Amino acid sequence: MESAPKKVVMSWTEEKDVLLMREMAAQGIFQFKSGSRERGTVWQAITKNLNGHKDLFHSVTSRGVSDRFTLILRRYKAKNAEELKSTGEGSEDEYDLLLEELTHLSEESDKKANAEAESAKEKISAEKELALDIRKRAMETMGQTSKRTKSDELQDNEINERKKGRTGGDTLAWLEKKADRDLKYKELQLEEQRKEREFQQRERKEQMELIQKQLQMQGESQKQQQQQQMMLMQQMMSIMQQQQQQLQLFTSKQDKD
């Protein structure tokens, strides 16, 4: 009986780690929050590109490459801390440079995620406080409405009691007062109407007087014009008479000569 072929287990090397980190930097994986669907999609794209290198990778998974980078990052931080303590400076090869950049991006991404989580927490807390405040005010409003309702009921009861307690004499007195008020109101209305009529009559009278004055002024103006015309006619007649007399004198002198 033939045995099943053994599954080939891929071992990670520095070359493969560099390819992984290149893909991570190119895809901008830390732009997205850890655990988000967007970051998961980027891990899938990275995995697909790595599996394109048939000579190096053998069906790696998104979980596998993610776990590999977590391990690389943990080792790098420990190693880098030791090197900084001993020499005061770190390595500058591509592997370490990529790791340094990705470490920085990872930390910034975590800070951003923590800030967003804190902001969301504060927002939820503020909304909760607002809801409690609204509920409190609503309860206070309901209490005030209930108090007003009870107060109105008491007032209505008092009015009803007073109405019930009225006697026939009280009703008659109330009717007399009402009739007196109505009469006074009617008299005031009539007085206002009378004053309005008088005012309108005065206005009409003043308008008529104004019209008469205007007509009178027009008549006087026409009379003056007629007088001026008569004076002009008289002057013209006088001039014509003078001219005629002068002509007669001139003619008589010629006859004598």
User: What residue segments make up the domains of the chain, in order of their start?
Assistant: 14-130
- For CA atoms 185, 190, 196, 202, give the dihedral sign: negative
List the chain residues with pLDDT less than 70. 1-8, 81, 83-92, 138-169, 229, 232-233, 236-237, 240, 253-257
Question: How big is the chain, counted in residues?
Answer: 257
User: What's residue 90's pLDDT?
Assistant: 54
Rounded CA-CA distance 138/121 in Å is 26
Rounded CA-CA distance 16/23 in Å is 11
User: What's residue 222's pLDDT?
Assistant: 74
Q: Hey, what are 189's tokens?
A: 């209305």
Amino acid at 193: Q
Backbone conformation region of residue 32, classed left if phi is above 0, alpha if psi is from -120 to 50, else beta: beta
Q: Which residue has the tokens 């931080």?
A: 77
Residue 27: Cβ within 10 Å count:
17
pTM: 0.43
Rg of the chain (C-alpha set): 59
> Could you tell me how many helices (H) and strands (E) the chain has, helices first?
5, 0
User: What's residue 218's pLDDT?
Assistant: 78
To which H or E segment does residue 73 belong? helix 62-86
User: What's residue 86's pLDDT?
Assistant: 62
- For CA atoms 28, 34, 37, 40, give the dihedral sign: positive
Q: What is the pLDDT of residues 52-97, one digit of tens each?
A: 998 899 889 999 999 999 999 998 888 876 766 565 555 567 887 8
Alpha-carbon separation of residue 8 from 18, 55, 60, 225 (angstroms): 22, 13, 11, 136
b/e burial code for range 157-181 (CB count within 10 A of at least 16 → b): eeeeeeeeeeeeeeeeeeeeeeeee
